[in-house]
Amino acid sequence: MTSANQTPSSGPSTPYSREWREALTGRDLLNWAFPSVTEISEAAIEGIFCKKDENSIIPCSEIATLQTIPSAKNLLYAKRLIGELDTGARTRSHTNEGSWAVRIGSFGNFDKTTIKLLDPIVFEAMDMARGIREMLKWIGDNASSARDPFAVWFRDQLLNAPNIMQLSFRASTHVPLNLSSALFFRNEQYIDDEAIRLVLDLFSEHYTANNQYIFIPPLRIQQWTSSTKYNKSFLWKKEELESGRVEKAFAVVHMQHLDHWGAVQIDFINQELSFGDSLAMNCPITVESGIRKWLVACKIGENKWKRGMGLFRIARQPSTSGSCGIIALNAIEHAVNPSISLWEPQSAVEHRMRMLELVTAYSTVSSLNNYSILDMLSPFGAEGLNAVH
């Protein structure tokens, strides 16, 4: 490890320890000299038995001095190997003379503790540093004059907030969002289910004053699709549905075989289900079946619902884009608030930026609805917000 590495500014601590992580800022991460990663053949990884009086294991205190570390794939294999050796030792009533470890090629000898320090802790820190660096560049490249205050605020959070690895945002009283999920909003990244759940929760808080809309969390859809029998989960929102005030329900559904998001609209007035996604795929059969089970369990419409799935209007994305989740959320919001324009390639960045403002609790749905997406497409010039000092 080079001399460039310094402990976080709030005080000395062992690198990668809990104290080190709690004191860490994004600026510390960006200035940290991480080791390079090299993958070797599994044949070069072997189990070894270390007696208690031996000192051949690399101690945790020296992990930060390593210039190169094994890949995550190598470490996963090493974990499994130690687990198999430990199980065999217990089966044979092995004595307590020592413990199993692994020799990973020329990297050295590692036990379970040092492997866990490398993966996930070191790899998580490396991923976070990469995500922060890319997000700073994306914000600097794409923030418009309308987004200037947000860009300045978010840049400060990314660089100076303490305990950056555990930083979370509370845009909703129900669903906090950690920074690692927020970082997926950069570039054309695929956003995760935590971000989807939070945005739907924010829609629920803002758009349901008259109880005419329901926004179904992704985990609820997963419960319905994985259940072979009726259970309590199918009685969710039963009282609201029985009131007769609900006009539509919406869900963002995960298409696991593609790692892709689509959107469902449930129209209680016309008793019709419709589905749309940004790649023009068909709705998974399990999703339609799960939703119909919910309607049956709540005794809504009985057998009057139309068969099959209608087409829910949703924008198309380029095949190289990972914006399916953003586009699904946008289509749902457009359905309940037509003043929100449908996603288009030329406004893709601003739709992402708008969602990022929401999930980081910088703005609310109400405040962001006061201006048009297309009014915000004037980028910063020169260095913008890219520079890290």
> For 154, how many CA atoms within 13 A lie in the half-sphere containing its CB?
32
User: Please, are residues 256 and 225 in contact by the beta-carbon 8 Å criterion?
Assistant: no
Rg (CA), the chain: 25
CA distance 246 to 249: 8
CA distance 118 to 21: 14
Bridge-based pairing state of the strands 98-104 and 36-38: unpaired
Domain boundaries, the chain: 13-48+112-166, 177-371
User: Please, are residues 188 and 196 in contact by the beta-carbon 8 Å criterion?
Assistant: no
Instruction: Indicate the length of the chain as a whole number.
Output: 389
Class of domain 177-371: alpha beta
**Helix ranges restricted to H, 323-378:** 324-336, 348-359, 365-368
CA distance 206 to 49: 60
User: Please, are residues 44 and 78 in contact by the beta-carbon 8 Å criterion?
Assistant: no
φ/ψ region of 250 (left if φ > 0, alpha if ψ in -120 to 50, else beta) reads beta
Q: What is the pLDDT of residue 376?
A: 41
Residues in the chain predicted with pLDDT less than 50, given as ranges, are 1-3, 10-12, 371-389
Pick from 354, 361, 360, 312: nearest CA to 336: 312
Residue type, 85: L
Burial class (CB within 10 angstroms; exposed 0-12, middle 13-18, buried 19+) of 29: buried
Element housing 204 (H / E): helix 193-207
User: What is the pTM assigned to this prediction?
Assistant: 0.84
Bridge-based pairing state of the strands 272-277 and 260-267: antiparallel
Q: What is the pLDDT of residue 377?
A: 38
Q: What is the pLDDT of residue 95?
A: 53
Q: What is the pLDDT of residue 375?
A: 42
